Amino acid sequence: MLATGVTLGMALPAAAEPLRLVALGDSLTQGFGLPEEDGLVPQLQAWLDAEGHDVKVINAGVSGDTTAGGRARLDWTLAEPADAMLVALGGNDLLRGIDPAESRANLDAILARLGEEGIPAMLVGLPAPGNFGPEFRDAFAAMYPELAEAHGATLYPDLLAPMSARAARGERFAELMQDDQIHPNARGVAVIVEELGPAVVEFLDSLGAEDGA
C-alpha cells in the first residue's frame, strides 16, 4: 500500500522547506511541444500537490540532451539545493544510436557524483529498441538495472511503460503521442504520471525510513 502524504511529511523536519526533487532529463522531462502546464514536471507536481505531498519538483530537463549532456551540466544543476534527483536520460542516445557503453559511462558518472554529494537518485529507464540489433538492445536493457544496483539507486524501469500498457489493452498509441510520434501529448504525460507519481512517493518515503523517520 502506498504511503500517505502524512508519511512523507514525517521524513522532513517540522516547518521545513518543501523537499526539492530535481528532474534531470531531456525533452521528455522538459515538456517539449506542450503548454508549460502539460509537461511532465508540472503534471507530476500537480499530482503530488493533489495527494498532499510537500515536494517541489525542479525541471532540469533540456530538450535534445543526451546522457553526455546531462553529465556535462551536472555542476550547473547542482548549483541549487537538491534533496533527491530523478535521472531520466537516454532517449536521445537511442535516437542517435550512441553506443550503450558510452551511455552507461555517462549515467555511471552522474550516479557516482550524486553518491558523493549524498543525493539519493531514482534512475528512470526506457525500453530497449531492437532496430540497432540484438547486442545494442541487450546492452541498453541491462544498463539501467545494473547501474541502479551498483549505485544503490532506486530503479523506475520504463518511463513509457504506462503508455505501452494502454496500447496493449487496445488504445491507439498514436492517440497518446504528439504528431512527431516521439513525444507524448498531454494525455500521454498524464498516463505516465499516474504510475510515476506513486513510485516517486515510495522513493521519497524510503529516504525518510532510512533516516529513521
Question: Is 138 in the active site?
Answer: no
| Torsion sign, CA atoms 123, 124, 129, 132 | negative
* Diameter over CA atoms, the chain: 53
Which one from 27, 53, 65, 103 is the annotated catalytic residue? 27
Positive or negative torsion for Cα 69, 72, 74, 79:
negative
108 carries an active-site annotation = no
Q: Which of 26, 53, 83, 183 is catalytic?
A: 183
Q: Report how far residue 146's alpha carbon sits from residue 59's, in angstroms, rounded to the nearest whole number.
A: 26
Residue 180 is among the residues annotated as catalytic for this protein: yes
CB distance 89 to 22 below 8 Å: no
Q: Helices H, strands E: what count in the chain?
A: 10, 5
Residue type (1 letter), 187: R
All 3 cell numbers of residue 45?
Answer: 507536481
DSSP string, 2-46: PPPHHHHHHTS-TTPPPEEEEEEESHHHHTTTS-GGGSHHHHHHH
| 57 vs 193: CA distance, rounded Å | 13
Active site residues: 27, 180, 183
